[in-house]
Chain A
Amino acid sequence: MTSVEATRQPVLELTGIGKEFGAIRALHDVDMQVYPGEVVGLMGDNGAGKSTLVKIIAGNFRPSHGEIRFDGNAVHFHRPIDARAVGIEVVYQDLALADNLTAAANVFLGRELKRNFGPVSLLDHRAMAARALELFGELRSETRPHDLVKQMSGGQRQAVAIARTRLSNAKLVMMDEPTAAISVRQVEQVLSLIHRLKEQGVAVMLISHRMPDVFAVCDRVVVMRRGEKRADKAIHDTSPEEVTALITGAKEAA
């Protein structure tokens, strides 16, 4: 880990991030770095500030204090599309897929490939299906581009949602509770998808309540409590027991 930190600059660097909603302090003075090819687990109880932090990084909220640097440059996101433009993608818990469309259509939703026929530009179905198949191949997911999403398993849906992020060559993918509502076998699939992203040099932030998943794939775990970062440890320097203690407040900081 230390060698990675020494040789490469962080893809995401947060300095002194704070957020207030009126009188409520949701986040206070959060510093954090995420490096390329690193999987960081973001843990904390409900209301600990995880989702506020994610929404700030994704451009849904603007921070009240602090600075976000992405790829070495200071960035200011006004809308989620600004974050997406620099290479930050979010895989939402409910996956944000249109059930009535095919896998390929969902992967390319909002950025369809087109071909011009004179004045009209029509969808290039063949190119989109071929590219989607390539992406599913990279993710080693058995997903057919022409199948409807409504007929798919939870793991395949995750693959479609993650393929979307690969399409845009995202540098940072934030996954919100990807393993919350799926079967044990599909959890395996999702964790292997995260490994695929890591292999491609993508930084992943995994927001999860499930301790075994975090310890299975993450290089590092960040624990939030009451809007503050309480711990930021390499996964082999900590234990599920310690993280649980940090989340519940039995242990104040580490």
Chain B
Amino acid sequence: MAIQIESPITFTNVGKARWWQRGLFATQTGYVLLALLMLLAIMHFASPYFFTEGNMQNVAKNFSFIAIATLGITFVIITGGIDLSVGSMMCFSAMITSMVMVELSAPGSLFVHLAADGKTVVANVPGLILLVSVLAGLGVALIVGLVNGFCIAVLGLSPFVTTLGMLSIVRGLAYVVSNGRGSFPGGPDADYFYALTSGDVLGVPAPFIYLVILALVMAVVLHHTTFGRHVFALGGNEKAAELTGISVVRVKIEVYVICALAAGLQGIIISGWLGSAPANMATSYELNVIAAAVIGGANLAGGIGGPLGAIVGCVLLEVIRNGLVLAQVNSYWQQTLVGVIIIMAVLVDRIRSRMA
């Protein structure tokens, strides 16, 4: 099968890039991954608690809480856009999900009946309430993503301004629907909900499993489908993408929808871990998510990024947070350090591309 085709060209004066100048080694993601591995080694010697099973589970769970949204925003960043509404989106989707769940579980709803004792509410079809409420939460995310995409791709508004507006609109809606109080998952399916969001399988936290699956799907989509190819083309040269007949409007709308859905799913998972969806949930998380993506090597100018980078960025942020706690450093230092790392990561990449 894999017959190497005879090259019709002999290369006399065009050098081939060496292995360390290609692929992962030549990307910011590669450098940050190296830095992360070094940090892990340092943590291992600095704290005997770091590599314990409990702490590792903790780290895996914590970084999964922003990593799914980071995967989503990476699509947008690759096209050269930005989405500031992800934090609000997390909250609103989580809130709608738990409100719908409670609503459908109220006595008298089509989905439940009362048990023989006349007090206990029993689901007619176990799991159906959960399914419908999660779909409702993702449904509002879909709508928000479509509105973002429409404003940016069709009306030609700037992504920064559009999603800054959406940040406020969606947060406002979350306060309106909950009257500022927040909501709590409830009813007969709440146990399933908690199991699926904050449970674990053989000691592996459920959010981490979702993350790994979604990251693998994303890798295939980005590198092995026409959609992924067009996402990169858009970030590389939007005019060229348009001239070659790519439907730029459609691809743009799709990336904002993906981003909003990822944020919505992330919010639903976080609310399972918190046990509630308060109206101020995930405030300013958009900054963590963007920071993680950028540290992992996504380029805000567009054209570069991927799932590995998104995850590496999230892990690095979480290991630093976790490390500061274990090292008993005042945890208020965390934000300062994160800022330094963002600048360092971009700086190292700049120095490297100057040298190349």
Contacts and interface: CB of A to CB of B under 8 A. Distances in A.
Interface residues of A, number: 38
Interface in A115-146: 120-123, 125, 130, 133-134, 136-138, 140-144
Contacts of A136: 8-9
A254 to B, nearest CB: 35
A100 B303 CA distance: 6
A92 B243 contact: yes
Contact of B12 (A109, A125, A142): A142
Contacts of B245: 80-81, 84, 110-111
- Counting chain B CB atoms within 10 Å of each CB, the highest count among A95, A98, A123 belongs to A98
Q: Nearest 10 A-B pairs (CB), nearest first?
A: A137-B8, A98-B236, A110-B244, A100-B303, A96-B240, A100-B236, A110-B245, A122-B224, A142-B14, A98-B237
A99 B9 contact: no
Contacts of A81: 245
Contacts of B225: 120-123
B244 A109 contact: yes
Contact of A112 (B9, B226, B239): B226
Given A110-B246, A123-B224, A98 B232 contact: yes
A96 B239 contact: yes
B17 A151 contact: yes
Contact of B229 (A105, A120, A156): A105
Contact of A123 (B7, B9, B229, B233): B229
Contacts of A140: 9
A199 interface: no
Of the four ranges (under 10, 10 to 19, 20 to 34, 35 or more), the interface on chain B belongs to: 20 to 34
Contacts of B237: 96-99
A191 interface: no
B232 A100 contact: yes
B235 interface: yes
A114 B16 CA distance: 27
Contacts of A121: 225
A5 interface: no
Interface in A145-203: 147, 151, 156, 164
A95 B237 CA distance: 11
A137 B5 CA distance: 13
B328 interface: no
A97 B9 contact: no
A101 B11 contact: no
A98 B226 contact: no
Contacts of A133: 5, 7-9
B246 to A, nearest CB: 5
A143 B244 contact: no
Contact of A147 (B17, B230, B239): B17
Contacts of B226: 112, 114, 123
A167 to B, nearest CB: 11
Contact of B220 (A122, A130, A138): A122
B13 interface: yes
Contacts of B212: none
B246 A109 contact: yes
A177 to B, nearest CB: 16
A130 B5 CA distance: 7
A140 B14 CA distance: 13
B304 interface: yes
7 contacts: A99-B237, A105-B229, A109-B240, A136-B9, A137-B7, A142-B12, A143-B9
B241 interface: yes
Contacts of A156: 14
A81 B246 CA distance: 10
B33 to A, nearest CB: 20
Nearest to A130: B5
A85 to B, nearest CB: 10
Contacts of A141: 9
B14 A97 contact: no
- Counting chain B CB atoms within 10 Å of each CB, the highest count among A84, A109, A136, A143 belongs to A109
Contacts of A137: 7-9
Nearest to B5: A130
Contact of B304 (A100, A120, A134): A100
Given A112-B229, A123-B223, A123-B229, 5 more contacts: A92-B243, A96-B240, A100-B232, A111-B245, A142-B13
Contacts of A134: 8
Contacts of B241: 98, 109-110
A66 B336 CA distance: 68
Given A98-B236, A134-B8, A144 B224 contact: no
B244 to A, nearest CB: 4
A112 B225 CA distance: 9
A154 B233 CA distance: 19
B232 to A, nearest CB: 6
Interface in A197-242: none
A133 to B, nearest CB: 6
A105 B244 CA distance: 12
Contacts of A147: 17
A111 B246 CA distance: 9
Contacts of B16: 144
A212 to B, nearest CB: 24
Interface in B317-348: none
Interface string B139-158: 00000000000000000000
